[in-house]
Structure 1
Amino acid sequence: MSLTQQYLLDTYRAQRLGQPAPPAPGTHDWQVVRELRDHRRFRAVLAERPAHGRIRQALGRWLHRQPRPSR
């Protein structure tokens, strides 16, 4: 069953039972992404790591690493 079919079935059931309709798929996607980002920052602070700029720092280390000596 696809996501759309499940949503339509849930909407039908809610209507028949007199309950409010469920939110459409994808309605809260950005909110979930923001909450995940905030949770990762929180975990970084607890682990005493920088809370922001970690990806940029990792990319900078990767781009500016020393070349390996050739054999």
Structure 2
Amino acid sequence: MSITQHYLLDTYRARQQGEAPPPAPGTHDWQVMREIRDHRRFRAVVAGRPAHRRIRHALGRWLHGRPRSTW
């Protein structure tokens, strides 16, 4: 069953039971991604690592063999 079919089935069931319909698929995707990013930054700070541009710095070290200058 696809996501769309599942959503339509849930909407139908909610309507039959007089409940509010569920949010459409993809409605909160960006919010979830921001929360994941914030949680990773928080964990980095708690662990004593830099909280930003970690991936870019790692790729710079991997590609160029030396640390890249900070911006």
Separation in 1 of the partners of 2:15 and 2:60? 54
Aligned residues: 66
Q: What RMSD, in angstroms, separates the aligned Cα atoms of the two structures?
A: 1.1
4+ residue segments displaced more than 2 Å: none
Q: Does 1:34 align with 2:34?
A: yes
Which TM-score applies when normalising by structure 1? Answer: 0.88
Name which one, 1 or 2, has greater alpha-carbon Rg.
Answer: 1
- TM-score, normalised to structure 2, is 0.88
Partner AA of 1:11 in structure 2: T
Partner residue, 1:24: 24
Identify unmatched segments of 5+ residues in structure 2. Answer: 67-71
C-alpha separation in 2, matches of 1:35 and 1:14 = 28
Alignment identity in percent? Answer: 76
